[in-house]
Amino acid sequence: DIKISMKTSDAQKTIEAYERLRPLCDYPFHLGVTEAGTKFHSTVKSSIALGNLLLKGIGDTMRVSMTGELEEEIRVARAILQDSGVQKSGVNIISCPTCGRIQSDLLSAIKIVEEKTKHIKEPLNISVMGCVVNALGEAKGADVAIAFGKNQGLVIRHGEVVAKLKESELVDRFLAEVEDEVKSRAVKE
């Protein structure tokens, strides 16, 4: 069996190479940007090249190449597959870019949520927001959301507030709601 790979270390050249060859042959394509660099640079280059090609329906297999971080290669590859619509599984975390309204340690909360939800295979949209102002609008598209406020916050499920709690209780309750959402979907199947 033959699979064609035309990796370069340049995202634009990678895109052009695969786009030019696609009409000329029917062999499967293995996508990647080689020698992509550190986590930051590799993520940017791979997202541009692989995401672009996948959105055009080009590519059968892929690898994100990253200097020395195999687990991160896998995480970034899965995210590219998920966000390009190729793979419909796993958690999609929506979070705000932060602003002056934030009165909590949002970054720490997001890191905990990422770590505690990485095992979930079910397609799920969750939202972690730094304030109620953004959360109520953003939470409408989320299966489960959390909105921090001053020393307290909300847990929201399918657009409805299910709990108003002290900040110290928010993340645990939010994660419990996420797990409950996953279980309720499994029962429906």
DSSP 29: B
CATH of the domain at 134: 3.30.413.10
**What length is written for the chain?**
189
What's the chain's average pLDDT?
A: 90
pLDDT in tens, 38-85: 999 999 999 999 999 999 999 999 999 999 878 889 989 999 999 998
Instruction: Assign 69 to helix, strand or coil.
Output: coil
Q: Which two tokens stand for residue 20?
A: 């030019």
For residues 161-169, average pLDDT = 93
Boundary (domain end) residue, out of 50, 83, 116: 83
Q: Are residues 112 and 167 in the same domain?
A: yes
Q: Are residues 76 and 106 in the same domain?
A: no
User: Is pLDDT at 189 greater than 70 in this prediction?
Assistant: no
Q: Are residues 66 and 112 in the same domain?
A: no
Boundary (domain end) residue, out of 58, 83, 108: 83
Q: Are residues 102 and 118 in the same domain?
A: yes
Residue numbers of the domain that contains 67: 11-83
Boundary (domain end) residue, out of 83, 114, 144: 83
Confidence of residue 103 (pLDDT cuts 50, 70, 90): confident
Q: Quote the number of domains for the chain.
A: 2
- ∠ CA 31-79-112 to the nearest 5 degrees? 150
pLDDT in tens, 125-140: 999 988 877 777 777 7
- Taking the CA atoms of residue 95, residue 170, residue 113 and residue 143 in that order, the dihedral angle to the nearest 10 degrees is -60
Q: Are residues 178 and 116 in the same domain?
A: yes
Q: Are residues 35 and 124 in the same domain?
A: no
